[in-house]
């Protein structure tokens, strides 16, 4: 809704009606409402039938229902899956699982499980029923640990956390849990606080409103869904751990992340370990196929990206708060990695 509102503010002249309710109520409204175009979430057969019965443009903004005759703006599930797997692998996990429920789309789960298999990883999966956490707790108890779990949504992730609590499983020490959607209020209320993929729902709403306007003025219909890539993973306590058996490697990575806001050097990282530079370099290359120096700047760069897209800080302050000494140094790395200036990147990805 924030994204839709942003588009409307920049394109005055719309009259917007907002309806909320259960699927049956919304389906009845969709059939009767005298409007020229509709944004909706098609999460039930009733709503799909109602939308299809109207001779007006309809844009679906929910990733759980794609088998209908409307145009959809949805999350890029393969990109979300890749981001999740890299997040877990960067933390040393070797065992992976996807947990969803029957009411969720299986697109994210399918993408995640396929990606694991492409890397010769044998993942597990479980279809959980919300409210039946005891059954899930029994299943989790039998799984190999440490285990990294991606879930279909933040709501599903909160259920997994409850199941871990019932089973006496420590999160994230034994099982790390990652949600999808980054519902900040829900994530912060979870115990422990829930890490989640930021699927950029604001961009989804903005693109959906823009697309609806194009359809309403008679532009050609787009074939297939528009997929919105995720922006980042908001790391909270539920995945904030390094699962490497190598204590020195874990300590080095923890130091880099804890000091991402500072201008740190290789020698600073070495001070958090008891091994030589050569030994640490070899271990990082073995696990990540990059150097220690590259890992330091990768983490600095990720922090700079987050600050650019989530704050109004000036470029120099973003640089200083993400370990870069100058705005020009930050701009040079952005150009090298993305082909964009930091300002252009902010304009394209701002939430």
CB atoms within 10 A of CB 17: 9
236 burial type by CB count under 10 A (0-12 exposed, 13-18 middle, 19+ buried): buried
Mean pLDDT for the stretch of residues 96-113 = 85
The rounded mean pLDDT for the chain is: 90
pLDDT tier for residue 32 given thresholds of 50, 70 and 90: confident
Q: How far apart are CA 312 and CA 308, in angstroms?
A: 7
CATH number, domain 2-74+201-229, options 1.10.10.10, 3.40.50.150, 3.40.1280.10, 3.40.50.2300: 3.40.50.2300
Which has the higher per-residue pLDDT, 13 or 143?
Answer: 143
pLDDT the model gives residue 55: 87
pLDDT the model gives residue 197: 97
Check pLDDT > 60 for residue 105: no
Q: Which helix (H) or strand (E) holds 251?
A: helix 247-258
Check pLDDT > 60 for residue 115: yes
Fold of domain 77-200+233-239? Rossmann fold (3.40.50)
pLDDT > 90 fraction of the chain, expressed in percent and rounded: 65
pLDDT in tens, 76-98: 999 999 999 999 999 999 999 99
CATH number, domain 247-349, options 1.10.10.60, 3.40.50.2000, 1.20.1600.10, 3.40.1410.10: 1.10.10.60
pLDDT in tens, 270-303: 999 999 999 999 999 988 889 999 999 999 998 9
Domain ranges of the chain: 2-74+201-229, 77-200+233-239, 247-349
Under 8 Å between Cβ of 292 and 284: yes
DSSP SS3 for 262: coil
pLDDT in tens, 214-244: 999 998 878 778 999 998 899 999 998 988 8
DSSP SS3 for 196: strand
pLDDT the model gives residue 316: 94
Under 8 Å between Cβ of 261 and 107: no
Query: Quick one: three-class SS letters along 13-66?
Result: CCCCCCCCCCHHHHHHHHHHCCCCCEEECCCCHHHHHHHHCCCCCEEECCCCCC
């Amino acid at each position: 809704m924030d994204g839709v509102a942003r588009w409307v503010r920049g394109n005055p002249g719309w009259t917007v009606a907002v309806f909320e309710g259960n699927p049956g109520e919304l389906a009845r409204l969709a059939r009767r409402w005298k409007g020229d175009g509709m944004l909706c979430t098609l999460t039930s057969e009733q709503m799909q039938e109602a939308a299809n019965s109207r001779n007006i443009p309809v844009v679906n903004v929910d990733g759980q229902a794609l088998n209908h005759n409307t145009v959809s703006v949805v999350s890029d599930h393969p990109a979300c899956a890749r981001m999740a797997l890299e997040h877990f692998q960067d933390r040393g996990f070797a065992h992976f699982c996807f947990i969803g429920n029957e009411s969720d789309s299986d697109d994210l789960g399918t993408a995640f499980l396929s990606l694991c298999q492409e890397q010769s990883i044998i993942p597990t999966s479980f279809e959980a029923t919300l409210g039946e956490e005891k059954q899930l707790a029994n299943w989790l108890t039998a799984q190999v640990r440490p285990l990294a779990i991606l879930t279909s949504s933040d709501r599903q992730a909160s259920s997994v956390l409850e199941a871990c609590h019932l089973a006496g499983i420590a999160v994230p020490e034994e099982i790390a849990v990652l949600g999808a959607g980054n519902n900040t209020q829900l994530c912060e209320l979870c115990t422990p606080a829930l890490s989640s993929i930021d699927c950029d729902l604001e961009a989804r709403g903005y693109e959906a409103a823009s697309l609806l306007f194009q359809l309403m003025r008679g532009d050609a219909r787009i074939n297939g869904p528009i997929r919105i890539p995720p922006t980042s993973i908001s790391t909270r306590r539920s995945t904030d751990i390094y699962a490497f058996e190598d204590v020195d490697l874990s300590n080095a990575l923890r130091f880099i992340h804890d000091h991402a806001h500072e201008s740190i050097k290789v020698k600073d990282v070495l001070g958090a370990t008891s091994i030589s530079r050569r030994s640490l370099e070899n271990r990082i290359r073995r696990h990540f196929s990059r150097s220690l120096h590259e890992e330091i700047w990768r983490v600095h760069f990720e922090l700079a990206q987050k600050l650019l897209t989530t704050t109004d800080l000036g470029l120099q302050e973003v640089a200083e708060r993400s370990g870069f000494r100058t705005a020009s140094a930050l701009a040079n790395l952005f150009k090298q990695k993305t082909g964009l200036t930091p300002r252009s990147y902010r304009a394209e990805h701002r939430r």
